[in-house]
Amino acid sequence: MIFEVFRRERKGQPFQHAGSLAAPDEAFAEIYAREQYGRRQESVALWLVPREDVHEIDEFPDEFEMKYRRVDGYSIKARLHEARERAGTLDMAPGAGGTG
């Protein structure tokens, strides 16, 4: 069996994928994981997951380009300029040399 190994380096940190190991069963996998990924106190916790139990999703189609959900979907520069112009506060804008 192949087990994927995830390790937590310090408390409060997320588990990160560390590598994999081959073992005949879970009991051996635990021994091997302790030896290979934890014997120097480099981990505070390990997760062992049989490789076939990992459900991977690696395609994220975005056919409709729903940009309104993202920061790069908004370009406010021109509108902000217009709003400041109307309010007469252009000199207060950052970088305008005013007091703002």
Partner 1 sequence: MDTRTEEFLEYVQSGGQVETGDWMPDEYRSRLVKFIEMHGNSELMGVLPERDWILRAPTLQRKLALTAKIQDEVGHAQLIYRVVEDLGKPRSACLDDLVSGTAKFHNVFHYPTRTWGDVGVIAWLVDAAAIVSQKALLKCSYAPYARIMKKICWEESFHILHGRDVILAMVTGTDEQFGLVQEALDRWWEPLMHFHGNPIPADEDPMVVWRIKSQANEEARQQFLDGYVPQIRELGLEVPDPALRKDEETGHWRYTEPDWERLRSVVTGHGPASAERLAFRRLSRDDVAWVERVVLAEAA
2-8 and 45-50 beta bridge pairing: antiparallel
Q: How far apart are CA 47 and CA 38, in angstroms?
A: 11
Does residue number 22 form part of the binding site for partner 1 (CB under 8 A)? yes
**Residue 24 CB, nearest approach to partner 1 (Å):** 3
86 token code pair:
């109307």
Largest CA distance in the chain: 75
Binders in 59-98 for partner 1, by CB under 8 A: none
Residue in 35, 82, 85, 91 binding partner 1, rule: CB under 8 A: 35
Does residue number 25 form part of the binding site for partner 1 (CB under 8 A)? yes
Q: How far apart are CA 100 and CA 95, in angstroms?
A: 8
Identity of the residue, 59 or 65, whose beta carbon is nearer to partner 1 in the bound complex: 59
Identity of the residue, 24 or 95, whose beta carbon is nearer to partner 1 in the bound complex: 24
Does residue number 13 form part of the binding site for partner 1 (CB under 8 A)? no
Q: Are 7 and 15 in contact (CB under 8 A)?
A: yes
